[in-house]
Amino acid sequence: MKRTLKYSGVVLASALLASAAASASDELLNMQKNADDWVMPTGNYANQRYSELDQINKDNVGDLNVAWTFSTGVLRGHEGGPLVIGDTMYVHTPFPNIVYALDLNDDGRIIWKYEPKQDPDTIPVMCCDTVNRGVAYGDGKIILHQADTSVVALNAKTGAVEWKVANGDPKMGETGTAAPMVVKDKVLIGISGGEFGVRGSMTAYNIKDGSRVWRAYSMGPDSDILVDPEKTTHLGEPVGKDSGTNTWEGDQWKIGGGTTWGWFAYDAELDLVYYGTGNPSTWNPAQRPGDNRWSMAIFARNPDTGMAKWVYQMTPHDEWDFDGVNEMILSDQEVGGQMRKLLVHFDRNGFGYSLDRDNGQLLVAEKFDPVVNWATHVDLKTGRPQVVAKYSTDQNGEDVNTTGVCPAALGSKDQQPAAFSPKSGLHYVPTNHVCMDYEPFRVSYTAGQPYVGATLSMYPGPDGDHMGNFIAWDATEGKIVWSKKEKFSVWSGALATAGDVVFYGTLEGYLKAVDSKTGDELYKFKTPSGIIGNVTTYMQGGKQYIAILSGVGGWAGIGLAAGLTDPNAGLGAVGGYAALSNYTALGGQLTVFAVD
């Protein structure tokens, strides 16, 4: 197949003309083109996690050495990664969500430290560890989304608080774990808490003063979810009136889940923001008949008004907790002989989706782990997965133990972001190779209390010898190009570089470098704790560096992070990852590498 590649439209020079007025994203559109820095949590608006730096390449990556380290002073799971803007690195931690500004010209000297005072009662409300996925930059500010849902704007030079607003209420089960995104003059913020019956939303705040501009809920009346029944489309057809309520029974949508704790993307040419929504509440599907729209869906919205242009639901009437929050990766590639503005999404449900990001047309939907068995395929016309009755957890309204479901609830991939290389045209995907038994039970809703309604147990996939793969994926055809087995799930975000090297971390704590074309391992180094952070690269003083946060935790590492021993605890993960304690322990460290 002839492959034509272009760098994503979101970073083309023409994108700078998308807004006549000067804005924070005008600044970021320029800044993201400077490969020396790392100005957004996923590298650029397209979520490509790609760097044009090539000083470290496949010929010399084997000579990497530790250049310096920094202890965060916090244990539990360290997701996300640092920002690098000029000579300053911004490092975040899990709860209590400390932010450090480090001077890269002075051995990482701490320029300032922000340590919020948060109610420790927030911790029990956080599902799957006390993680935070990073800070954002814009308009001279560092934006932090705290666990207690506070959105805080810090002066990037001094760390002083410029404004602070509450995005939710932890007493109702609402928490903050996702990295913000700055688009134009707005800060976009999601919400966590799907396991507490929270109704998911995306909110835009004015970056100048923190005033709220708009909020779009995942389900509810049209005016709440910001859709136009005649203009907002689902696979090319108008969604119609009451699309956010008419597939729910009664008022269930008010506690419907669909939280928005993943990653956001932005195309400045199309002026659209993209993100995914999570599982419907409760996990017992028999208690919420219908498609449960718009949980488990991708939204494309106008950042100025919040109005949705299109939406696509990946897993109607979710029966397995296959959250749809994973990142949307934007690129321009040829599919079926036609250049397309692609949106590529690796869903928890095990299917890799390629859509036209302008109109939401579904182009490709294929399994990115061959053991996925809950559905045979996705119908490209209707967009619906063809569910295998044996693996349905809604057995005619009966609460039965459904066994051997692949993937497990944590998905063939969770939030750990993949990378895309415009040079190779491939996506590099950290995956989970894990299956489960799933037994629903009846549960009633109480505000601020868990609203799960299922008992899970997890274990390695059918071959039984590994729990993860790191793969290269062709999104134009929907196929695996190469796959590398890992003992445990790959819970680290990937990084692709122009040096033909791809980096990722492992739950045992290894930073690994592989050949982008073959997957051959070129380098590995074991850091002090398991890695669930995302690999970052930058240039300082003429030298390229690789940086990674290590600190085991997250859903896969919740047993270690929270000291849990019951195999069914941690929503089933504790038993599945029990052996992890033989390989690593808690930690909280930034490790920075360079070639001498």
Residue numbers annotated as active site: 321
Print the SS3 string covering 263-324: CCEEECCCCEEEEECCCECCCCHHHCCCCCCCCCEEEEECCCCCCEEEEEECCCCCCCCCCC
Alpha helices in 148-295 (DSSP H): 222-225
- Dihedral sign of CA atoms 212, 216, 219, 223 in order: positive
Nearest CA to 349 out of 411, 405, 394, 295 is that of 411
Decide if 204 contacts 196 (C-beta within 8 A): no
Indicate the DSSP class of residue 65.
E
What are the residues whose beta carbons fall under 8 Å from the beta carbon of 28, sequence distance 6 or more? 39, 40, 45, 137, 138, 182
* Spatial CA neighbour of 192 closest among 279, 117, 268: 279
Distance CA 7, CA 596 (A): 31
Residue position matching structure tokens 């990766």: 329
Name the residue with tokens 């993201």: 32
Residues 6+ apart with CB under 8 A from 267: 8, 9, 10, 15, 45, 46, 274, 330, 341, 357
Question: Distance between CA atoms of 284 and 454, rounded to whole angstroms?
Answer: 6
d(CA 565, CA 574): 7
Report how far residue 162's alpha carbon sits from residue 152's, in angstroms, rounded to the nearest whole number.
Answer: 8
Q: Which residues contact 556 (CB under 8 A, 6 or more apart)?
A: 410, 414, 432, 488, 489, 491, 507, 532, 573, 576, 577, 580
Q: Distance between CA 572 and CA 514 in Å, rounded?
A: 31
Q: How many angstroms separate the CA atoms of 314 and 323, rounded?
A: 10
Q: What six digits make up the tokens of 390?
A: 């044996």
Neighbour-count burial of 277, counting CB atoms closer than 10 A to its CB (0-12 exposed, 13-18 middle, 19+ buried): buried
Rounded to the nearest 5°, which phi and psi values hold at 153? Answer: -105, 120
Yes or no: say if 107 and 69 are a contact pair by the CB < 8 Å rule: no
Burial class (CB in 10 A: 0-12, 13-18, 19+), 481: middle
Q: Tell me how many degrees the CA angle 11-365-397 measures, rounded to the nearest 5.
A: 125
Count CB atoms within 10 A of the CB of residue 571.
23
Q: In this structure, what DSSP letter does residue 26 have?
A: H
